[in-house]
């Protein structure tokens, strides 16, 4: 989070990836945060690119998929997020989904949210892998995953996602995610993944920050853990909606929930 001096603006930056299981499991937390701070902060989402173009392909795709299924199961045990029991494969690239998600942002924050996580039975980019078990890791499935999203101009996603402007924005996000502030290089917490920045094959991360005052919030923290300059947020706890209940891993869906088949049955 960044507070720029002499400007009453708080910016909350979410570093994420459409195909990241930790990001999928944190959806209910971010929905509560967005509701609590609605209209009082500026928010933006940076695409980290978890699965990059230069990643080596697995020597045994079936074994890799089995290992990844166990990995996601461990994360789901911690986050209580639903998961596909038998994912078809490990994602080959985060770029197609990240480009489609970024291309949707100019159409409005609500549309961008629906594209990323799905709404009213639509698959969404994250649901493609964590509900259906088929990652949207190439352009065609990524576009198919968002087709029919309420409010999304159906004529724009393909052209916008393929544009040089959107590509440069995602490249900028990827570069920013690889320039973390020093505090996140040694973050600690009780979570299996407390938000500590991870070293890539390129070597250690440089210790860079942004303008103004920066306070990293790594891993899961209580809403009042950080003084965000918006004290009202500490007392606000919006009620869970149907989507929240399903994502929280409850054993039974609430009345009125939309049921559908997926890779888990």
Give a yes or no: residue 32 inside a domain.
Answer: yes
44 alpha-carbon distance from chain centroid: 12
176-222 pLDDT, tens per residue? 998 877 766 665 666 665 556 655 555 544 333 344 556 666 656 65
* pLDDT score of 20: 93
Task: Count how many residues are written for the chain.
Answer: 265
pLDDT at 34: 81
- 107 neighbors 153 (Cβ within 8 angstroms): yes
Residue 72 lies in a domain: yes
Residue 238 in any domain: the answer is no
What is the model's pTM? 0.74
Question: How many other CB atoms are found less than 10 A from the CB of residue 185?
Answer: 15
Q: Is residue 78 part of a domain?
A: yes
Strand (E) or helix (H) holding 11: strand 10-16
Block mean pLDDT (10 aa), the chain, length 265: 54 90 88 81 90 87 94 91 91 95 92 78 80 94 91 92 97 91 65 59 42 58 54 45 42 51 45
- How confident is the model at residue 174, as a pLDDT? 95
**Please, are residues 127 and 117 in contact by the beta-carbon 8 Å criterion?**
yes
Burial class (CB in 10 A: 0-12, 13-18, 19+), 177: buried
pLDDT for 123 equals: 63
DSSP 3-state of 3: strand
Q: Cα–Cα distances in Å, from 220 out to 23, 32, 167, 264?
A: 11, 13, 30, 27
Whether residue 243 is contained in a domain is answered as no
Distance CA(33)–CA(80), nearest Å, equals 18
* CATH assignment of the domain containing 160: 3.40.30.10
Grouping H, G, I as helix, E, B as strand and the rest as coil, residue 148 is: coil
Domain residues for the domain of 35 are 2-230
| Helix and strand counts by DSSP (H, E) for the chain | 10, 4
When divided into structural domains, the chain yields a total of 1
Look at the alpha carbons of 162, 167, 173, 174 in this order and tell me if their dihedral is positive or negative.
positive
Give the span between the Cα atoms of 249 and 245, in whole angstroms: 7
pLDDT number for residue 256 = 54
The answer as to whether 259 is a domain residue is no
Residue 255 forms part of a structural domain: no
Task: With respect to residue 239, please indicate whether it lies within any of the assigned structural domains.
Answer: no
Helix-helix angle 95-104:109-117, to 10 degrees: 150
pLDDT at residue 28, as a whole number: 84
């Amino acid at each position: 989070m960044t507070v720029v001096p002499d400007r009453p603006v708080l910016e909350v930056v979410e570093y994420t990836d459409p195909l990241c299981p930790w990001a999928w499991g944190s959806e209910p937390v971010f929905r509560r945060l967005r509701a609590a701070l609605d209209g009082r902060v500026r928010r933006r989402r940076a695409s980290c690119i978890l699965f990059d173009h230069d990643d080596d392909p697995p020597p045994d795709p079936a074994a890799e998929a089995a290992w990844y299924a166990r990995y996601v199961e461990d994360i789901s045990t911690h986050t209580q997020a639903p998961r596909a029991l038998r994912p078809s494969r490990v994602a080959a690239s985060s770029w197609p989904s990240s480009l489609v998600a970024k291309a949707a942002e100019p159409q409005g924050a609500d549309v961008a949210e629906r594209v990323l996580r799905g709404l009213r039975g639509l698959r969404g980019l994250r649901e493609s892998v964590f509900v259906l078990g088929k990652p949207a890791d190439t352009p065609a499935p990524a576009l198919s995953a968002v087709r029919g999203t309420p409010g999304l101009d159906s004529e724009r996603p393909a052209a916008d996602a393929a544009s040089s402007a959107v590509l440069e924005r995602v490249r900028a996000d990827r570069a920013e995610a690889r320039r973390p502030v020093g505090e996140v290089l040694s973050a600690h917490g009780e979570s299996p993944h407390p938000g500590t920045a991870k070293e890539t094959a390129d070597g250690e991360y440089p210790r860079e920050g942004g303008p103004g005052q920066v306070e990293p919030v790594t891993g899961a923290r209580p809403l009042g853990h950080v003084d965000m300059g918006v004290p009202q947020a500490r007392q606000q706890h919006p009620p869970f909606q149907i989507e929240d209940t399903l994502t929280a891993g409850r054993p039974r869906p609430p009345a009125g929930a939309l049921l559908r088949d997926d890779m888990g049955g």
